[in-house]
Structure 1
Amino acid sequence: MPACPQCGQENPAGFRLCGMCGAPLEALGSPREVRKTVTIVFADVTGSTALGELLDPEATRRVMGWYFDAMQTAVERHGGIVEKFIGDAVMAVFGIPQVHEDDPVRAVRAAIDMRAALQRLNDELERDEGLELRARIGINTGEVVAGDAADGQRFATGDAVNVAARLEQAAAPGEILLGDATRALAGEAIVAEPVEALALKGKSEPVPAWRLIDVLADVPAFTRHLDTPFVGRSDELVLLERAFTDAAQERAVELVTVVGAPGIGKSRLARELVGNVRDRAHVLIGRCLPYGEGITYWPLAEVVKQLGGETPAARLREILAADEQVDLVVDRVLSA
């Protein structure tokens, strides 16, 4: 299935335009390189040398195999790919072949899961061998040149890759260091503290870095403060405000779908609409999470919780009092 050169979405044979973003699909020919913004994760373990001294080669291979499998599972759970294993290190990329708007957050969450998976492995190693492995992780976001995803060529090169590797090398065991761009793009979804700018090998100037403290499980929509002016979407904003006016006047539902490539400004457009109508309407916001388990009813759950305050179940039962399946609906929606 050919992949879109713009967003990486795979499309059925015969499609001339991408079914996700509408970009033209080029005829398959010689592989082409693409420039794109991705987030790179480097993870390495400390203590593997001692492991090799104390265990025989077969046992060492088995332990490292468990480690690599656990790291790959954590990366792929969040939508990334493991590009390669380098000795004891893992290099993963988020944004190849398909770009997601939240790739930096996905990468940070994957790093937390990688560290947790290593701890579970350590529980067995400490019990059986008296050993402990600890991970150092570096994460950076930036432009790279990657092979054509449609041809299976996903190798990424660029300064962003080098900086991610240097951040990993500068991290202490058990520590996750973030590049400045990753920290900024992850925004309100993470808690991080600045560390002293790092003098990294190959960089002429010290590189700003951040130590990851925590990843927040649930961040409300539209929490990031924006200082940049809203430009280039005035016509679309007028259409949205017109739909709102029609709904208010006719007391009827108006459904508007905003479609566009990642990063084009869909969330900013919706945010501007919310700001413009908030004094004329009770605004409820429900988000469709991009991935995860048990998230089918997540948007409804968010809306009901905003509407119901401290007693969302009671409020939902009041709204659906005439429905025979009210208990089933309340259980499924609020369990999201």
Structure 2
Amino acid sequence: MRVLVTGGAGFIGSHYVRQALSGEYASLRDAEIVVLDKLTYAGSRSNLDPVADSPRLRFVRGDICDPAVVREVMAGVDLVVHFAAESHVDRSIAGSADFVLTNVLGTQTVLHAAHHAGVGRVVHVSTDEVYGSIDEGSWREDHVLEPNSPYSASKASSDLVARSFHRTYGLPVCVTRCSNNYGPYQFPEKVIPLFVTNLLDGGQVPLYGDGSNVRDWLHVDDHCRGVQLVADGGTPGEIYNIGGGTELTNRELTERLLAAVGVGWERVDHVEDRLGHDRRYSVDITKIRTQLGYRPAVDFESGLAETVRWYAEHRQWWEPLKERASPVAG
């Protein structure tokens, strides 16, 4: 079996690759894993160092918007797991062109090549942000799409492209929509690694607005397990929400991070709120739980403690990246 993982040197994609090559997914224990990654600021070959010597790993540096490269790596592929995307909201507000290009055109290029190569299954990895903001309750997969940032709009567009390839061409593609991920190897522009690394360096952390925005937190290991459940048994053409089950305001999250590093609120700078900042995200995971048996296994308290320890012990990984990180995270 051959698996193509786009964005496989990024935070979530590299975790999936490491798990796959370490035997964590039964259906992939003998699979060849082909990683296609452009190695933008958020991707690094070092994320794959723990499995770099595996004879089942092939790395290709290339752009998902390049039809020739995508066509070449798609040859003989049985499963595509499409993680590659521009994903930082603040960067999309500052400039949206790269997000539309990579997330929409890049996805179309991958799906087109998969269709023509006769790939047996595609999993398109998306985000809960495509739903917009919800004051009460949780989104089901059939909720209307109401994205509020250029990033989430580009991901919603890519979801619709994926749906069209299933309906028009019969491509066996599933879409997953996850809540906020955290864990080791996350680029230090996202809120948890940004705050942890700033605090470890004796610096300040920026808290948007009044800190009352709510997010559901999902450990990257649970997310990737959910993605693999969809790859193994998801129904083509269907969408599956993947959540972690821990909703916190940004203020509550900040309190936990301050406590984890052993510092106080004097290390927090209150900054002007993000433009179009969604108030609350919450996904209903009934579908993936009942159909595929998904349940989050990493409780947030232990997962966060492990993540903070990882950053404390891996300065050599994140210190060179800090210069490339955005000053405010979300």
Structure in which a larger fraction of residues adopt helix: 2
Structure of greater Rg: 1
Question: Does the pair score TM above 0.5?
Answer: no
| TM-score (ref. length: structure 2) | 0.23
